[in-house]
A and B are shown apart, each in its own frame.
Chain A
Amino acid sequence: MRSRLILWAIAVALLVALPPVMTALGQTFYIDLVRRIMILAIAAVSLNLILGYGGMVSFGHAAYLGIGAYAVGILAFYGVTSGWLQWALAVGASAIVAALIGAVSIRTSGIYFIMITLAFTQMLYYLGISLEEFGGDDGMRLKAKSQFSGLIDLGNPVSFYYLALALLLLAVLLVYRIVNSRFGMVLRAAKSNEARTRAIGFAPYPYRLAAFVIAGAMCGLAGALYANHTNYIVPGLMSWQQSGDIMFMVILGGMASTAGPVLGTFALLFVEELLKGWTEHWQVILGPLLVLSVIFFRRGLAGIFYKPDA
């Protein structure tokens, strides 16, 4: 436990130190890159709650990334630039959509669950494409970044960076507390042995649904951040490739571990960036690398640092 806290402290110190160091070195590109990684890591952390701890293989988690981003974009389009309102809508709308999708899909399991979550997200993806007013296939430019009553200026790359870092740490802490609470124990028990869980008196459905909604809402926040990061909102955010990417971050980093999804996001996006610098056919190299990593790190990258407990 103690050694894990030390590792966390080192990681956080490095992330806190990154902007001044990179500014001094004139490499501000890295501030942008790590900010993007941290935002997507929030999405991965949220997916880990249902995938890693809940055993729900949602192949549609990008839906909430898209809903969060469009919530910000559409409100800005109509001149509502209050970040409080935009982000509340991003989280609220994601939670509602997650409740609807979850209510149907959690009644199924296995391959059916995967296909239903995928199908719902594809519907949202095509909805995004069909919204001509909001750019359709091409997407829309974010008219102005979210305004927070002058508290924080997202136009400042460094302030935005620290906000993303703070929200990522908050998301990690939240999921950590949830999975170790009574609620989390039921969620993990239902994953471990459903028949036994029912036999001792728990109906897993409401617990799974609640976790699904929490994960959706959290990913919606990541979407709101992402819209402000890219200043551009495209339907592709809700594509199945994006869902697959988030899922892969979790699996690569280590399912059902606290740090896993964060490590996975950093590893995947750093390697991707590195390969992009070498060749335009970077996916040909990334693919086999991912396969090898899954074969050799059975518990994900987090498994290198510690054994995941139950």
Chain B
Amino acid sequence: MLEVRGLTKSFGALRATDGIDLDVREGETHAVIGPNGAGKTTFISQLAGNLLPDSGSVRFAGNDITRLSAPRRARMGLARSFQITSIYPEFNALDNVALAVQAHCGHSFRFWKPARGDRSLAEPAERVLQEVGLTDRRTVLAANLSHGEQRQLEVAMALATNPRLLLLDEPMAGMGTDESQRMIALLSRLKKTKTMILIEHDMDAVFRLADRISVLVYGRVIATGSPEAIRANEEVRRAYLGAD
């Protein structure tokens, strides 16, 4: 599904990602973990097309997408969520999701018919809101949702594009325990039908959700494998998990 080869990006003297190789298989949930500053967000930004790599390549579903823009990748089925909540605060929850639906039903050079009354946008959007558990909050301005609900909305917007691959950048960031548990439950439901790359600090979540884990340290993948293999890996324990 996704093949990353030799992905390298430098900011001045700092090599944020340094020759990353990574494969994501159809249907798996692939977690990427690593200490702060390991290059996780730089990596996901290169996958989503917000940053172009200095060298290396990204192939997605058989196509070379290394140089494609973010909107082009999104339309091909690569959806991302952001570590720092990125929604439309002055639109309500339903509008937020309906916009994501709209992005994937043809061009939007339609100037006359009201978008809000359009059932072909509202119905899929309602379904996604139901899926993430925000149905009761659909008419609330996104700015007035709680932090946890905004994180759910963030995932809903990615889902609404009907993606082939979900890139989730710390979906649990800044969440309380209850909210985290709800998000983990949501992601465990999603993982049955979706292919996902999950970047996350919450190790509990990572070990419960991931089929495979890649460990990123100083911009390099030092290990990839099943959760058990990663837990047992000496190098990973030294570099990151800590000997406990």
Query: Could you say which of B69, B86, B108, B161 contacts A195, with CB atoms under 8 Å apart?
Result: B86
Say yes or no for A259: interface residue by CB 8 A criterion.
Answer: no
Q: Are the C-beta atoms of A199 and B74 separated by less than 8 Å?
A: yes
Q: Chain A residues near B92: list those with CB within 8 A.
A: 310
Q: For A162, what are the chain B residues with a Cβ–Cβ distance below 8 Å? A: none
Q: How many A residues touch B, CB cutoff 8 Å?
A: 25
Whether B115 contacts A181 by the Cβ 8 Å rule is yes
Contacts of A197 in B (CB 8 A): 99
Interface centre among A182, A189, A203 (most CB of B within 10 A): A182
Q: Quick check: B108 and A185 within 8 Å, CB to CB?
A: yes
Contact with B along A177-188 (1 / 0, CB 8 A): 110111111101
Interface check A282, CB cutoff 8 A: no
Chain B residues, Cβ within 8 Å of A202? 71, 103, 108
Q: In the assembled complex, which residues on chain A have CB atoms less than 8 Å from the CB atom of B11?
A: none
Alpha-carbon distance A197/B75, docked complex (angstroms)? 12
A177 touching B108, Cβ below 8 Å: no
Q: Interface extent on B, as a size class?
A: 35 or more
Residue pair B80, A185 in contact (C-beta under 8 Å) = no
Interface pair B71/A203, CB less than 8 Å apart = yes
CB of A24 within 8 Å of the partner chain: no
**Is A201 a contact of B115 with CB atoms below 8 Å?**
no
Any A CB within 8 A of the CB of B102: yes
**A196 to chain B: which residues have CB within 8 Å?**
82, 86-88, 157
Cβ-defined contact, B70 with A199, below 8 A = yes
Residue A108 lies at the interface, judged by CB distance under 8 Å to chain B: no
| A114 proximal to B (CB < 8 A) | no
> Do A182 and B108 form a contact, CB below 8 Å, given A198-B71, A199-B79?
yes
Contact yes or no, A182 B74, CB < 8 A: no
B134 near A: Cβ within 8 Å? no
Verify A192–B90 contact, CB threshold 8 A: yes
Query: Given that A183-B108, A195-B82, A210-B109 are contacting pairs, would A200 and B88 also be in contact in the complex, using a CB cutoff of 8 Å?
Result: no
Partner pick for B91 among A177, A201, A210, A310, CB 8 A cutoff: A310
Which residues of chain A are near B118, meaning CB under 8 Å? Answer: 182
Cβ–Cβ contact B71 & A183, under 8 A: no
Chain A residue numbers with a CB within 8 Å of B174 are none
User: Are B111 and A200 within 8 A (Cβ)?
Assistant: no
Closest to A308 in B: B90
A207 interfacial by beta-carbon distance below 8 Å: yes
Asked whether any CB of chain B lies closer than 8 Å to the CB of A149, the reply is no
CB of B79 within 8 A of CB of A200, answer yes
For the complex, what is the distance from the CA of A203 to the CA of B77, rounded to whole Å?
15
A177–B160 CA distance with the chains assembled, in angstroms: 25
Q: Mark B54-70, 1 if CB is under 8 A from A, else 0.
A: 00000000000000011
Q: Which residues of B contact A201 (CB under 8 A)?
A: 71, 74-75, 100, 103-104, 161
- Which residues in B have their C-beta under 8 angstroms from that of A178? 111-112
A182 / chain B contacts, CB cutoff of 8 Å: 102, 108, 110, 113, 115, 118, 121
Task: Flag if A181 contacts B74 (CB, 8 Å).
Answer: no
What are 17 A-to-B residue pairs whose CB atoms are below 8 Å? A181-B111, A185-B95, A189-B91, A193-B86, A193-B88, A195-B82, A195-B86, A196-B86, A198-B50, A198-B71, A198-B74, A199-B80, A199-B86, A200-B74, A200-B103, A200-B161, A201-B75
- Identify the 5 closest CB pairs spanning chains A and B, nearest first: A201-B74, A201-B103, A310-B90, A203-B71, A182-B108
Further pairs besides A180-B116, A200-B74, A200-B79: 18, Cβ < 8 Å: A180-B114, A182-B102, A185-B95, A185-B99, A186-B102, A192-B89, A192-B90, A196-B88, A196-B157, A198-B69, A198-B71, A199-B48, A199-B82, A201-B71, A201-B104, A207-B109, A310-B92, A310-B141
